[in-house]
Each structure stands twice: as C-alpha cells, then as structure tokens.
C-alpha cells in the first residue's frame, strides 16, 4: 500500500509551525514510534494521517537525523489497508537484527466501520535493508490474538534484546477492565511465546483502566517501566490531564517474568505530554521522545492543515529513585546569539518581545539557603498574563498557569542552596526544566507577536540569566541523501 499523494492535505498557513521540533509536513501526528539508531541515523516514526489534520486511519510517518535535532522527513514507512492492518497501523517499536531494521506494530481492525468501539488488534512485523523502504512480513500477524482473559485492547509493542533473546511488552486490559502489561519472548522476532502479565493496575481510578505505550528498560541498576495509563482519577494537584504518562521503578526477573515495583510517578507535569518512547543511543544514553499534545486538547494549527508535534529529545537519568529528564546535549549546537544578565535588586525584569523563533532562557538562582520567597516566569500579551510559572523557594512548590478552561498544573522541586531553570520556547510550544530536569512541564502554547517575556522575583534573590536564540537554519528538511 502507498499514500495517494493527490489526496494529501495541504498546509495553508505556517503561523504556528515549530522551528526546532519535529512535526508533520502536513496532516495529523501523534505517538512517537520505532525510535532507533540504524546505519548512522537516528530514526523516529510516528502515528500519522496524511489526508486530514484530524486523527484518521493510522500510518507510520518517518524521519531521520544524524544529531537528533536536524530531521529529514522520509516517505511513510507503513500504510494501512493490508490483511494484517486493514484499518490502521497503530503504535509500535523498532529493532536492528542481522543488519536489517525491523518494525513491530499493532494492526487495527473494525468489525463494522460504523462502530469504532468494536474492533480487534494483532501484532505485525515489517523490515527494511536501507531504513527507508519497508516490506511487511508475508506471514503476519506474528501475534494474532491476546490472552483469553484480555479485552479487545491489545497494542503498542515495545521490543528489545536481552541475552540473545527478544522480548516485547504490550499494553492491554484484562477482563476486569484494568490496565496491564503483557510480555512475550522470541528467538528470532517471528515466533513468539507468551510469558505472562508483568504488571497490572490496582484499580481503574488508582492506576487506570488501560495501559498504553509500555517501555521497559534498565537504568542505573533499576528496571523502569514507563507507560501511559488511562483513567486515573484526578486529584487536587495530580493526574490533571485526560491521560497520564509516568513510571514504576523496580526489579524485573526475566526467568520468572516477574516485576516488583514501587508506586506510579508522573514523568512530566505539563498539559501536553503523552505516549513516550525511549531508545538506547550508541553512546549509552537513554533518550526519550513524547507526543507534545493531549487527546481532546485544542489544536489551532488544525485549521492550517497540520496537527501535532514531538517534544525535544531528552536524556533520562535516575537519581535517588527519581527520573530526571533533560534536553539532549545536541540542542546546544543550535544556539546562536547569546545575552547575559545578572539580576539583583529589581522586582521585575523584561526580556523583551518573543519573535516566535527559537529561544532558550537559562536561570541560575543563588543564596537559596536563605529560603527566599517567589520567582515568576511570565508571558504577557496585551497587558494580560497569558502564562506564568511560579516557583516558591520557601515551600519547594511550583505552579504553572496557562490561560484556558483548565489553566493550572502543579509540582514540587528540591529546595537546595542553589537551583536552575531552563525554558525552551518555540513558535507554539514551551518546555520547562527545573533543577537539572528534576521537574518538567511540556506545553503547546500558541504565541502572538505581542508576547512579552518577563520575570518577577523577591528583592533578595540574585539571578544569573543566559538567553540564546536557537536556529536550525530552516527547520525540518525534506531532502534525502
């Protein structure tokens, strides 16, 4: 199957086009898929619908990069419509074996196309020798049906190799309608054996009725299960998004397929973060992408013929049983103009208007042993605060406000003698990293030309501020090597 180029939706306006984040040339984007390194390139695939800026029958969009920042858009890797994926090529992952790139993905099937809640799902394989053109395995599906005690929800396989065998975890739901993670094992990627359920929801309101996009990996001596549960009940300052993304920390036993873990922790506290996928880079870093949007959120760019974006690629590290998340070092390579300010005394300081191009603002806070009061990062438009981040150094609490019907998000941070804040702004996004990635917020934010950047602080708080313009010289490339 191939995309009908004559029917691909056209972009009519680039007003919200991101400068240094990956987004589709046109059409719809959601979950990152198949994050892998192959033949000198990082490859990222993504859920993609080319014929509208709304969600539709899922394809796999595809881009590659030498440096995780400059992305080259490639032809769609998977197009639905074959026997094994008639109604969609849903999320999955990638692995390199025998000098070939293999994709493992979920095939989606409707019993009746007029009844979208009545479907079935299986797991399929595709492969490529050049990393650009893919062939679906002739004997798909490789996993035809879920266990008998499963519902119809059975998707998002994440594959890896361990001690000469291949393992895959799959998001699912048991008969009691509780989220869980299934595991399978294989010697060759083609024949798979069910090993069991490695983790399961306590209850639908505590840990969710469905678990999507699972990812199991080892980091700093611990086994991390990163996934997206659906259905966790919102609390006053936690679980406020429609769906969450977070992790368990624990210990996994391969022989027994047993995973003992701690409590669920949200990974990102912003409005727009979902469906993560990680990969182990050649230099040993564990790197993660997330979808920088949320289901049922307002996406003004849809009116322009496109929708959706991925976060900056971020490195994950584990410290004191907490996942830290920071932009990859390669982001520093697109810094251009630099400004420096040492801010003392004054209560409010303006950094001028935001030009809707790339911007990084780095703040270092001094003398925090005095437990000084508040710091606010503010975006103001037409004399109204449209966005702010308020850090309270007395309590270690942080509050984010974004104008809209669901404005507030909350988190906390370690209160030490010094601290820092990194803010990455793009034409329609802002990403915030507190204390070296201890606390993170991801947001789609649709700026206008009048947006002014300000900070407000208590008198005694001394701040060093560095500001960089970010420029990747024209954004996402469509040229192929």
Q: What is the DSSP letter of 233?
A: P
- Other Cβ atoms within 10 Å of 412 Cβ, number: 15
Residue 254, exposed/middle/buried by CB under 10 A (0-12, 13-18, 19+)? middle
CA torsion through residues 50, 53, 56, 62, sign? positive
Pick the catalytic residue: 4, 31, 98, 223?
Answer: 31
Catalytic residue flag (residue 458): no
- Pairing assessment for the beta strands 306-307 and 27-38 based on DSSP bridges: parallel
Cβ distance 147 to 121 under 8 Å? no
Q: How remote is the C-alpha of 265 from its chain's centroid?
A: 16
Structure tokens belonging to residue 342: 């040492």
Structure tokens belonging to residue 85: 């994926």
Residue 257, exposed/middle/buried by CB under 10 A (0-12, 13-18, 19+)? middle
User: DSSP string covering 182-231, please?
Assistant: EEEEESSSSSEEEEEEEEE-S-HHHH-SEEEEEEEEEETTEEEEEEEEE-
Structure tokens belonging to residue 444: 């789609």
Cβ distance 421 to 391 under 8 Å? yes
CA torsion through residues 44, 193, 124, 39, sign? positive
Q: Which residues contact 271 (CB under 8 A, 6 or more apart)?
A: 241, 294, 297, 402, 406, 409, 442, 443, 444
Sequence-ordered strand ranges (E) for 66-178: 72-78, 89-97, 100-110, 119-128, 135-136, 150-162, 165-174
Give residue 24's region: left, alpha or beta (phi > 0; psi -120 to 50).
Answer: beta
Distance separating alpha carbons of residues 142 and 147, to the nearest angstrom: 14
Distance separating alpha carbons of residues 63 and 132, to the nearest angstrom: 9
Residues labelled as active-site residues: 31
């Amino acid at each position: 199957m191939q995309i009908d180029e004559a029917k691909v939706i056209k972009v009519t306006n680039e007003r919200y086009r991101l400068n240094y984040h990956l987004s589709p040339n046109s059409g719809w984007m959601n979950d990152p898929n198949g994050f892998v390194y192959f033949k000198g390139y990082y490859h990222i695939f993504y859920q993609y619908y080319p014929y509208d800026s709304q969600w539709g029958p899922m394809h796999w969009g595809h881009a590659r990069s030498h440096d995780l920042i400059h992305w080259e858009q490639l032809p769609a890797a998977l197009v639905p419509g074959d026997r094994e994926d008639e109604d969609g090529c849903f999320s999955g992952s990638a692995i390199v074996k025998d000098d070939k790139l293999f994709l493992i993905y979920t095939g989606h099937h409707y019993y009746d196309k007029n009844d979208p809640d009545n479907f079935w799902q299986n797991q399929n394989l595709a492969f490529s020798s050049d990393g650009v053109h893919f062939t679906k395995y002739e004997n798909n599906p490789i996993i035809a049906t879920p266990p008998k005690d499963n519902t119809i929800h059975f998707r998002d396989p994440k594959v890896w190799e361990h001690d000469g065998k291949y393992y895959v975890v799959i998001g699912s739901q048991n008969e009691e309608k509780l989220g869980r993670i299934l595991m399978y094992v294989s010697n060759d990627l083609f024949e798979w054996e069910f090993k069991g359920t490695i983790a399961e929801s306590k209850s639908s309101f505590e840990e969710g009725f469905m678990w999507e996009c699972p990812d199991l990996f080892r980091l700093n001596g611990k086994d991390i299960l990163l996934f997206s549960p659906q259905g966790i009940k919102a609390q006053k300052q936690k679980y406020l998004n429609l769906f969450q993304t977070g992790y368990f920390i624990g210990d996994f036993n391969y022989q027994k397929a047993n995973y003992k873990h701690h409590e669920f922790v949200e990974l990102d506290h912003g409005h727009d973060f979902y469906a993560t996928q990680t990969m182990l880079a050649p230099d040993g870093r564990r790197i993660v992408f997330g979808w920088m949007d949320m289901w049922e959120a307002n996406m003004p760019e849809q009116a322009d013929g496109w929708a959706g974006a991925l976060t900056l690629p971020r490195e994950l590290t584990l410290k004191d049983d907490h996942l830290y998340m920071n932009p990859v070092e390669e982001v520093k390579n697109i810094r251009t103009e630099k400004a420096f300010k040492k801010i003392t005394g004054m209560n409010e300081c303006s950094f001028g208007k935001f030009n809707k191009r790339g911007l990084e603002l780095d703040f270092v806070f001094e003398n925090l042993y005095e437990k000084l009061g508040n710091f606010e990062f503010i975006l103001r438009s037409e004399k109204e605060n449209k966005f702010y981040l308020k850090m309270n150094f007395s309590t270690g609490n942080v509050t984010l406000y974004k104008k809209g019907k669901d404005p507030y998000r909350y988190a906390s941070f370690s209160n030490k003698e010094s601290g820092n804040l990194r803010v990455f702004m793009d034409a329609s996004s802002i990403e915030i990293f507190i204390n070296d990635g201890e606390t993170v917020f991801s947001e789609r934010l649709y700026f206008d030309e009048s947006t002014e950047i300000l900070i407000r602080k208590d008198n005694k708080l001394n701040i060093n501020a560095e500001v960089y313009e970010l420029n990747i010289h024209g954004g996402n490339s469509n040229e192929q090597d």
